[in-house]
Amino acid sequence: MQEVLFYIFALLAIAGALSVILQKKTMYAAISLVITFMAVSIIYFLLGAQFIGLLQLIIYAGAIMVLFLIVILLLDPFSEIFLRNQSLAWVGLAVLLGAGLFGILYTAFGQAPVEIVAPPVPPGELTGHTQSLADVLFKQYLLPFEVISILILVAILGAVILAKKRIS
């Protein structure tokens, strides 16, 4: 059951990704990405990372994509993305690079020294729940947690300053 669901949502994610790069209008590309994020979120749930899955929905699909959409709407929502003005050589090269990288990753993954199949999760175990995550986060990774909150603060400040209108 899990596997079937995984394959369905995996295909959905891939379709969404392809759609992002193949769409002509910016808005549609953004919305495709949202779909991809949602699919990935489901996959997270399937993998037993429930908290992360929720976070994916909240932060990524919720906050980040909304931000993107606001900016798109602010600037130029339906502008054409000029795909056809590319030189064919460049397109070919880019596709080649991507395919090459994928091929290498494929080979690399074939050499992964871990078992193919992971042991199933014992039923009583709480894994991926908020509590277990918080356990690790606030004990082992406390310092990075604090640092990252400062990072967010700096980012907010930076964004505000950069986007401010210059008063001439």
Which residues 83-102 are close enough to bind another protein by CB under 8 A?
83, 85-86, 90-91, 93-95, 97-102
Check if the beta carbon of residue 89 is closer than 8 Å to that of residue 96: no
Q: Which of residues 50-79 bind another protein (CB under 8 A)?
A: 51-52, 55-56, 59-60, 63-64, 67-68, 71-72, 74-76, 79
Least distance CB 49 / another protein (angstroms): 5
Which of 123/160 has CB closer to another protein? 160
Least distance CB 124 / another protein (angstroms): 14
Q: Tell me, residue by residue from 11 to 50, as one string, x for binding to another protein by CB under 8 A and - for no binding.
A: --xx--xx-xx----x--xx--x--xx--x--xx-xxxx-
Least distance CB 123 / another protein (angstroms): 14
Contact residue for another protein among 124, 165, 167, 168 (CB under 8 A): 165
Check if the beta carbon of residue 54 is closer than 8 Å to that of residue 3: no
Task: Name the DSSP letter for residue 126.
Answer: -
Tell me which amino acid residue 131 is. Answer: Q
Closest to 84 in 3D by CA, of 16, 22, 18? 22
Cα separation, 43 vs 62, in Å, equals 17
Tell me which amino acid residue 161 is. Answer: I
* Residue 118, CA distances (Å) to 7, 59, 70, 90, 166 in order: 17, 29, 41, 41, 56
How many other C-beta atoms can be found within 10 angstroms of the C-beta atom of residue 48?
A: 15
Least distance CB 102 / another protein (angstroms): 4
Q: Tell me, residue by residue from 103 to 142, as one string, x for binding to another protein by CB under 8 A and - for no binding.
A: -xxxxxxxxx-xxxxxxx------xx---xx-xxx--xx-
Least distance CB 5 / another protein (angstroms): 9
How many other C-beta atoms can be found within 10 angstroms of the C-beta atom of residue 40?
A: 20
